Amino acid sequence: MTSDKTDVWQGTLAVMVLKTLETMGPLHGYGIARRIEQTSGDLLSVNYGTLYPALLKLEQEGYVASEWGVSDNNRKAKFYKLTRAGRRQLEKEAREWDQATAILARFLAPGEERS
């Protein structure tokens, strides 16, 4: 049931897309959506529709590039791939995310008094 699943919020969707493209290489929109769902262990439900404006924004910012190609089962599809700028951006976002979670984790750690 979808009610158990967490909706993907905008900012993080971009990072997920970038990460997906880094691990999987060039991929079409549908592929990206499925991959995100699988990676999250089906805990996240991507409303596939929201993916496309996000992809367009990333493309406008120059983090991904797109190209029409042919899918595994012979369908004409638009493939997205990570650009060099996108790779750098992903590293930066990952670093920031680590920092943010580390700080939060310290706050939320049980029983530990701040001194």
Return residues touching other proteins (CB under 8 A): 28-31, 34, 47-50, 52-53, 56-57, 59-62, 71, 73, 75-78
Please say which residue, 76 or 84, places its beta carbon nearer to other proteins: 76
Q: What is the CA radius of gyration of the chain?
A: 17
Helix (H, G, I), strand (E, B) or coil at 50: helix
Of 2 and 115, nearer to other proteins (C-beta) is 2
Residue 105 C-beta: closest distance to other proteins, Å: 30
CB of 34 to other proteins, least distance (A): 8
Tell the smallest beta-carbon distance from residue 104 to other proteins (Å): 27
Closer to other proteins by Cβ: residue 76 or 114: 76
Nearer to other proteins, 38 or 101 (CB): 38
